[in-house]
Amino acid sequence: MFRRSRLLLLLMIIGLYAYAAALPLQAAIGNFSFAHISDDHTQAKAAITISEFENPQPILLEPFKTIALPLSFVIDTGDITEFGGAGPFKQYQDYFKNVNLPLYISVGNHDGTWRSLTYELRQLFGSPYYSFDKHGCHFVILNSSGFQHPLPSFGPEQLEFVKKDLEKVGKDHPVFVAFHHPPSTSEFSSRYDLDRLLDILRPYNIVCIMYGHGHGANAGKYENFDIVQGGSTYGPGPAGYQVYSIMDGVLRIAYKDQGPEAKATKKMLEKPLAAPAKRYPNISIASPKEGATYHAQVPVKVWIAAGKGEIQSAVARLDGAKETSALELKSGGSFERLLNAKTLSPGAHNLKVTFVDKDGKEYHRSTHFYIDSTLPKVLWRTMTDTASKTTPTVGADGTIYIGGYDGRVLAYNGLGKLKWQFPTKGAIAGQLLAKGGNIYVGSEDRYLYCLNAANGSMVWSFEAEEPIYSSPVSDGKSIYFACGTGAFYSVDAATGKQNWKNTAATYNIEIQPFLHDGKVYYGAWDTFIYCVDTSDGKLVWKQVGSASARMPAARYYSPGDCGPVVCNNVVFTPDRGYDCTLSDANTGTMITALKSVAGVGLSQDKQSVYLRCTNNKLQKVDSAGKTIWEAEVPAGMVPTAPTELNGVVYVCGNKGTLSAVSAKDGKVLWQYEATPQLYVLAGVGASGSTAYVMGMDGSLTALGQ
């Protein structure tokens, strides 16, 4: 009898599962509503808008003549603060102190540049990108914003998360995707940066992409995706928020202006949540193969899984070129062509194919490949599976060390093979220091780690009061570094015991300090350049940076991006306004300021300075700022230092063009495309005649002559 009842119960459970699986999609999805807010900037008016969530009520969606249920949660697509940091984040949280709705946050560029809020999001959600389920729908919150930098990008660690996350969800399940930047923005390094994400999303039932950044409330299409901008809770236009209503399997979105009337008046989007009957067709790129290297010719072989006569035309775009030529379609919606490799620069390239059907609908797929190089030679390339902005550090034995956005410290041997890895609990922004058989690295998890260089085991750790984004430096006895509050530390190199702490700076220090003649020099995101005595940590002088002195919004243009250098007792300090302040090293007195400078690096003989200029020039100047030579190279505005070693100066442009320049006369020796038009936010590492480039695509490339 007992066994029979258990069998009946089991059959009932199986029957219920079968019944649920047979239900139409709308029956499996609950009726609910939620708010999409954005661009709060910790403004007082934003707090007023957010207070409307304190007592959720039904909201009239006037354009649809329907009533939305009371809001059940809130998604914020970023720029929740003006400058990031713990204090402003607490202020933002206080806006919700009387709101009893779950809140899900994406990082905006204002949240991630000056003192990244990725630290706070890790505490709340485990990661700055994450997902959750509500009422039968899946929500993916991504981080498009730069890490301690405003430029948007999606690193491989995030793309892999999305891929695995959606594989669990299935292709019919309704999915909402949220991040800060508009898909159409030119702030991405290239269309390929975003295409890598969209190619993952295309096969799935993506209901809409939610974004912010522009303070506008609108909706539209981007490559077949419905996109919705969240407006702004404070303005400066009409403050308010988007109301998303899901009722009987249909999504309706309308914008509600700030105010007591429970009515949303601006129509945005109406669509069913069910996956479209016509699924996104599979596009196969047989060649060029992803990440492959080609020599004389690049064969392009592509086909699309579509019905006979369905596809009318096809185009291929190389490196985002606007100029395209129609491709001759063959049977089954395929095409082939040959690219002459000799017309392409050595290194990485991206290719995007687009098919157009008889109704004018477009279908896309992207890939990347490499063109072989004789000068420089590609010694090896490894994919680290994480974005990184850490300049590769080369140890005495030739080991290359980097830190990743995924929190790992990675050590590679001279052949590009992984020797060891050490996990921290936060992203790594600063360059690692190799000294005395140890590796020193600061992490967003607040710790400075001392690791054994040979095997990655921890020797000691030191906890700072906030996340550590700066690069540590050493005089052999002590390690000097800073944290998110602006506190600057000296700790014993052998034990990690604190020697002293200077609290003169009032906001985050993320640069690499510079040691000179018993003093340490650094810039902070509080507008000032600092000089501190290394013996006792006492302030010697501080001086406001040039751009902060002349700009109304002074903090935006602080000398906080690229560390200073000292040449013949003159301190060169670049800032976010792209001024380079020249100061007396002893007094801090400003001598002059050079314009259009993003980064500075000291020459190997310490008698001159290299300037990375925003007008795509590399300059060598003397200690008075007088030009010695100037080279036309794609230097760009990323605030990293040029590197000189053995008579060669290396500088990598914004989108990965690495240039090797003669230190003697500025002659360009060679160039190489290190990434397929994806950002390089790290400086160039060097050892002997080998240069090491770390890209935001996770590639670590070794190049030699």
Domain boundaries, the chain: 31-272, 283-371, 373-503
Tokens 């669509």 label which residue? 271
- Phi, psi values for residue 79, rounded to 5°: 55, 50
CA distances from 647 to 400, 669, 703 (A): 21, 11, 16
- Under CATH, what is the fold of the domain 373-503? Lipocalin (2.40.128)
Q: Which fold has domain 31-272?
A: Purple Acid Phosphatase; chain A, domain 2 (3.60.21)
- The whole-number pLDDT of residue 8 equals 38
Q: How far apart, in whole angstroms, are the C-alpha atoms of residue 406 and residue 437?
A: 25
- Give the whole-angstrom CA distance, residue 254 versus residue 219: 10
Plot region of 230 (φ>0 → left; ψ -120 to 50 → alpha; else → beta): alpha
Here the tokens at position 661 are: 């320049």
- Average pLDDT, consecutive stretches of 10 residues, N- to C-terminus, the chain (705 residues): 39 37 56 98 98 97 98 98 97 98 98 97 98 97 95 97 97 97 97 97 98 97 97 95 97 97 97 91 95 94 90 91 72 84 94 92 96 97 97 97 98 97 98 98 98 98 98 98 98 98 98 98 98 98 97 93 97 97 98 98 98 97 98 95 98 97 98 97 97 98 95
CA–CA distance, 610 with 326 (Å, rounded to integer): 46
Q: What is the pLDDT of residue 324?
A: 61
178, containing H or E segment: strand 175-178
Per-residue H/E/C for 134-198: ECCEEEEECCCCCCCCCCCCCCHHHHHHHHHHHHHHCCCCCEEEECCCCCCCCCCCCHHHHHHHH
Which are the contacts of 168, defined by CB distance < 8 A and separation ≥ 6? none
The two three-digit tokens of residue 664, written as one number: 């003697």
Specify the pLDDT at position 326.
67
Per-residue confidence (pLDDT) for residue 644, from 0 to 100? 98
Q: 374 φ, ψ to 5°?
A: -100, -30
Q: How far apart are CA 230 and CA 242, in angstroms?
A: 6
DSSP classification of residue 456: -
The H-or-E segment that residue 124 falls in is: helix 118-125
Cα gap 177→158, rounded to integer Å: 13
The whole-number pLDDT of residue 530 equals: 98
- Interatomic CA distance for residues 486 and 504, integer angstroms: 8
pLDDT at 278: 84
Alpha carbons 455 and 372: distance in angstroms, whole number = 34
Closest to 56 in 3D by CA, of 102, 105, 106, 104: 102
Q: What is the pTM of this model?
A: 0.94
Tokens 């040691």 belong to 515
Which fold, 283-371? Immunoglobulin-like (2.60.40)
| Cβ atoms of 105 and 78 closer than 8 Å | yes
Strand segments (E) across 372-417: 377-383, 393-394, 400-403, 408-412
Residue in the structure block whose two tokens are 């990598």 = 652
Q: Considering all CA atoms of the chain, what is the largest pairwise distance in Å, rounded to the nearest integer?
A: 98
Q: Residue 630 in 3-state DSSP?
A: strand
> In the prediction, which pLDDT does 325 show?
62
Nearest CA-CA partner of 233 in 96, 113, 76: 76
Residue 346 pLDDT: 97
